[in-house]
Amino acid sequence: MKFVQERLGHGSMQITSDVYAHVSNKIAARSIDKFDEYMKEIE
């Protein structure tokens, strides 16, 4: 997150987090869904 903050020129990491945290949550949710699908296939 610090790297992104510096690259975008945000004054604080809080700004970066407020703007981009939803992206991380979507990626995490997709990863969990894919893992669940995989586990169903191998049962």
As a 3-state breakdown, the chain gives helix, strand, coil percent values, each rounded to 5, of 85, 0, 15
Q: Is pLDDT above 90 for 38?
A: yes
Binned at pLDDT 50, 70 and 90, residue 34 comes out as very high
**Residue with more model confidence, 37 or 26:** 37
Q: Is 16 exposed, middle or buried (0-12, 13-18, 19+ CB in 10 A)?
A: buried
pLDDT tens, 7-32? 999 999 999 988 887 777 788 899 99
pLDDT of residue 23: 76
**Residue with more model confidence, 28 or 34:** 34
Give the number of other Cβ atoms within 10 Å of residue 12's Cβ: 9
